[in-house]
Each structure stands twice: as C-alpha cells, then as structure tokens.
Structure 1
Amino acid sequence: MKNRSYEYDVALSFAGENRAYVEKVANSLKLKGIKVFYDLFEEANLWGKNLYEYLSEIYQNKARYTVLFVSSFYNKKLWTNHERVSMQARAFQESREYILPARFDNTEIPGILKTIGYINLENKTPEELAILIENKLKKDQTFIRNRWSKLSTMINPKPFVFTIKLIDEKKQLVKHAKVVLIANNSTYLEGFTDEHGLVHFVIRTRKMYTVLIAHTSYPAVVFHHINPKEDIEVTIEKSNNSGSVIINKSGHIPGISGKIEPVLKPDKGLSLYADNIAVDGGKHQPYDFALDTAISLEDNEGNRAHVTFRFFQGRIALIDFYKDIR
C-alpha cells in the first residue's frame, strides 16, 4: 500500500436509529485527536454538495478506515447502502483490512462475510469502542508517521507525565536503573527508577523516542519508536558478572579505572578514546569499533572487562559490560 495521507483517520457509517451510540463514539474519537468523519461534524461541508458524489469520495478514498455499524436498520437505508458500496469498492482494491464491522445484532450485510472479524457491541460502551479504534490506528505505521511528523515540532500546551516501570524476571522491582529518552534530533531526557521501580518524565514536546535502560546488574535494553502517550512496563533479566551503563560524552565502566570517550567520525564510523586504559590488548587510539561488537578493556591495575556498545547517538552511548573474573 502506498504511503499516503488521508483527510480522515476513520469514517463512521451507520443508520440513524443508532445515532445516539455512534455520536458518543465520534465525540470520544475527536477528544483523542483522531480525525473522524461523522455527518453532524460536517454539516457546513455537506451543505449544498452533491451528496451522492461527495459521500462516495469520503468512503472510497478519504478515510484510512471505515467502521460499519451493523444493525437491522442499516440494510433498509438508501444512504447507508450507498456508503457500503463505496467502502467495498475501496476494500476490493486494497490488500489490507479497510472495513471494520461493529455489530449491534446479527443482521447480514451484503458483501460483508460472516468470517470477517467484527466487534460485538452488545456489552461494549462507546468509549470502549473508541479505544479499540484508536488501538487499531496505532498499529498502522503510516498513521503513526503522518500523525507524529505533524506534531513532532509542536509544543504541547499541556505537558503530561510518561512513566516507565521496571521489573525483573522474578517480578521484583528494579531500582536505581538509569533511563534515557532520546529523540531523533538527539535531544534527550534522563532519570532513574525509584524505590517502586518507576521513573517519570514530564513530556512537553510531541516526539517519538528511543528508550535506553541501563543498570550495573542487568544487560542494556533499547526500545525504538516509543510513543510516550502511554506508560509502559519493562521486564529485564539479570545476568551474572554483567551489567550496563549509559554515558554522556565520556564515562566509566564499573570496576575499571580510567575514562572512555566514544566519538562519531566524519565518515559516520565510531572511534574510542580510553584514558589510562588499554583497548584490545593495547591497540592504537582512537580505536575504531562497531556497534554490537565486543571490545576488551584493561586498566593499570589489571582489571579487565569486555564492553559492547549497543547504541550511540549525539553524545549518548548505551554500553553492555562483562567483568573478566580472574
């Protein structure tokens, strides 16, 4: 499917008898910042237009998805059937789901197979359906790119708190882990998990982030393209004699005296300077290296460790280390 933009994220097709429910869905979606085609939101646009042609264009070309509210009333309406035919013309052209059925009852709708997955509205509130629609949109990568590309440089007038909870494989809270959120432009936020395994960030700009997590007793963790709108819980597994650190410009590896400083070369390669530390047995510095490739370090007291750079951007580096026990 082409990476295209749409005027609407979702269009709602329903019979008038079901308007009370659908209007609550539409209002909930609108509050979530989702662009929704709902007829009462479009009264000024619809005024004076050839509705046959205009609605065909909406349901066939201008929405990312359509939600078809199936009911006994739907089949009896001229306009709903016109909308359905337009949707099906679009669905026939695409290799992905486009029509999302939501059923008030078991009425059969021409062209909508019984085998197509649907949402049963019998015990589903309008807000719960709106959340399902929002989650469906979040799985669409073009929706994510288009939505966030428009918002990435805007200041959010209402800052919000993004929280990460960190636990281990035994469901124990992981305290004192360093967590960094780094944006594509290399600006970053940083913090440490507290006694409850939580770290909180005040988000003031709408951006996607890479999440870096490090702890001296746990391996490094990286998550790319994280939307900070929803809190997340992360599980990490402890590994003997190993851990991880995050350094900004330069820093230390636990158990190794001296300081290391990774740098980005003009050709986009990576090099390492190490102060009073031998790199790979005493190789010349700056020492060229690559991500995810182990490097051995030894200080002036003979302490040794193997380090692997897992991430590097701006001046932020995420590093795994394994202590060489003698």
Structure 2
Amino acid sequence: MMKEKRYEYDVALSFAGENRAYVEKVADSLQDKGINVFYDLFEEANLWGKNLYDYLSEIYQSKARYTVLFISSFYNKKLWTNHERVSMQARAFQESSEYILPARFDDTEIPGILKTIGYISLKNRTPEELAILIENKLKKDQTLFKNGWSKLSTMMNAKPFIFTIKIVNENNELVKHAKVVLIANNSTYLEGFSDEDGLAHFVIRTRKLYTVLIAHERYPAVIFKKMNPKEDIEVNIEKTNDAGSVIINTSGQIPGLSGKIEPVLKPGNRFSLLADNIAIEGGVDQPYDFELNKSISLEDNGGNIIHLTMRFFQGRIALIDFHKLK
C-alpha cells in the first residue's frame, strides 16, 4: 500500500505583490472549498516575529504538497519571490516530482522553470476557475492515495479542537459577558459569550477563515477579518463613555431602547433597517436605507434617543455600535 506524506498545507501560493488582487481571490476561493492554503495574509499572526527567511524556506520546501508559482514580469524582480522559488526548486529536485505548478500572467522567463514544464495560462481565466483546477489536482492525489491517509479527504471532517478568545480592557481587567461571533465567508457562524475569566471558547470542526465580531453593552464593537483560528488570541478593548455595542441575529434590541430593530440585506448588496415602535431619523418611512459606518438616529416611545452605527452586516448577523444621548 502506498502511503502519503503528511503536509501542513495542501498548496502554497508564491507571487509578486503587484499580482495580489488576483491571487487573493484564488486564496479565498480555495479556503471556501476547504483546501488548506498558505497565503501570507492568512498567516499574519503566525508570521509575526519569525525569521522569515528560514520560515518561508521551510514552507516552500517541505510543508506544502504543491506550490502554485504565479509567473509575471514582477515576480522575476523580487527578492522574496526568488527566495521562495529557490526553496521550492530544491524540493522539486530532491523528489523528481511535479511539485511546482506554474501559472502564467505573461511569458516572462523564470530561472530554473523550463519552458517544457506544463503550465496554466491566466489570460482570460478567472481566479475561481484557477481554484477549481487546483482543487481537481488535489482530488487526483486523493485517488492515488485512496488507501492511505489523505489530508484533503478529511479536510471538512477534521478532528475538532477548541479555540479560545480572551477579552480584557485597557486596564487589563477581564471583560465578562461579551458576545462573540465567528462568521465564515459562507455566512455560517459560531457564537458564544466570555465567561467569568473573560474567555470565550469555540469548538472548531471545519478549516475556515472567520470574521471575529465582539460586542458588549459597555464597550465599542471589535472586528477582525480573515482570522485563522489556529492559535488562541487575546483581545484588548477600551471603554468609551455612554457607548456600547451589540450583535443582532435577524432582529433584536438595543440596550436602553424599547422596541426591536431588524437589519435587512436588499438586492444589489444594499442595506435597510426596519424598526418596531422606534422612529428612525425623526420618523422617516421604513424600511430605511443605511450605509455601514454611518450614524443613524433612533428614538423609542419613551423619548430615549441613541445614535446607531452598523459596523458589519453579513447573512443575518449585524455588529452595531450605539451611543446614548443624555
């Protein structure tokens, strides 16, 4: 029986910064497909403080099953991309196997990459189409190693693990009863609250990037995008007078305000707000169209007034800052 070597990443992406806009869409698409991809912005916390020369050498030489090399005129001029290329070529030489997968933006010649090596042209090819090709390449490996251990085949049913977020304030005091939501690109989510030790625990069963939302009625909203829950994190939040935040799922209440509100996603990625027994902007017609990060005035039937600012809205999950008027 042929056994497969275990890799930390299914694929690593090597590219010049000038091509980031395209490559990031490829990385996002691969992540959505459950493929474990090394893309630098997904690894910011992990890269922080490391000796990048040694660490990237290890990534591109031994920790990924494949490397997609995005060839362009920019790639050939960069110090770091050439360092990555030398590392991956050392691996390819040792194994005498197809490890480097060239994807060409143009016809630039890259040292050590023979013209006879099969490549994918990116002319008229969308990032999603390239991601599908990479996925198919990995599925082919599944077939080769179907009697052994296959990382991709277990990707969506990986062994669950606990991810913990610790929340403290500016005085390093524990923040209790903060609501925390992890929301994935496909709008599925996990939610919980910080306990007496300021800790919010989550059972992670799928390998995804999450946007982290944190809210508390006495603290402003906190948001982290594209967070990889590989290591526990500590979050510091600062108190602001008469301000707080709340996370609403479908509909809910703002502390100190009677009635309910319901944010709604409209066609064309536009946002509207419905409010029950609450006047919006002095009593304008509803639903009321709003923009992210723009303040809205709300007043309930008791004359209580707050200014509300929508910080994030995806699926039916809304992260909201509010400021009470005395």
TM-score, length of structure 1 as denominator length: 0.58
Deviations 1:67-111 (A, max 9, x none): xxxxxxxxxxxxxxxxxxxxxxx99924142438xxxxxxxxxxx
SS at structure 1 position matched to 2:164: strand
CA distance in 2 between partners of 1:275 and 1:96 (Å):
59
Aligned to 2:207: 206
- Which residue does 1:70 correspond to in 2? none
Aligned-pair CA distance for 1:281: 0.4
Q: Distance in 2 between matches of 1:94 and 1:214?
A: 45
Cα offset, 1:155, TM superposition = 1.4
Alpha-carbon deviation of 1:35?
2.0
The residue identity in structure 1 corresponding to 2:197 is: H
Write out per-residue CA displacement over residues 239-262 of structure 1, whole angstroms, 9 at most, x where no aligned residue.
010000000000000000000001
Quickly say closer, same or farther: Cα 1:94–1:273, change in 2 above 3 A: same
Aligned twin of 2:248: 247
1:35 corresponds in structure 2 to 64
CA deviation vs aligned residue, 1:259-286 (integer Å, no higher than 9, x gap): 0001011222111110000000001111
Which position in structure 1 is the counterpart of 2:304? 303
| Structure 2, unpaired ranges of 5+ | 1-15, 28-36, 39-53, 85-126, 136-151
Question: Number of residues paired by the alignment?
Answer: 210
> Which secondary structure state, in structure 2, belongs to the residue aligned with residue 99 of structure 1?
helix
Cα RMSD, aligned residues only:
3.3
- Tell me if structure 2 keeps the 8 A contact 1:152–1:206: no
Map 1:11-50 to 2 at 5 A: 34-35=63-64
Query: In the alignment, does 2:128 pair up with 1:99?
Result: no
1:258 alignment partner in structure 2: 259
The 1-side partners of 2:76 and 2:189 are apart by 43
1:269 maps to 270
Equivalent position amino acid for 1:306 in 2:
H
Q: Which residue is 1:195 aligned to?
A: 196
Q: Post-superposition shift, 1:307?
A: 0.4
- TM (normalized to structure 2)? 0.58
Task: Give the % identical residues.
Answer: 61
Deviations 1:157-212 (A, max 9, x none): 31111111111111111110000000000000000001111111100001000000
Q: Distance in 1 between matches of 2:191 and 2:75?
A: 48
**Contact 1:153-1:206 at 8 Å conserved across structures:** no
Could you tell me how far 1:323 is from its partner in structure 2?
0.5
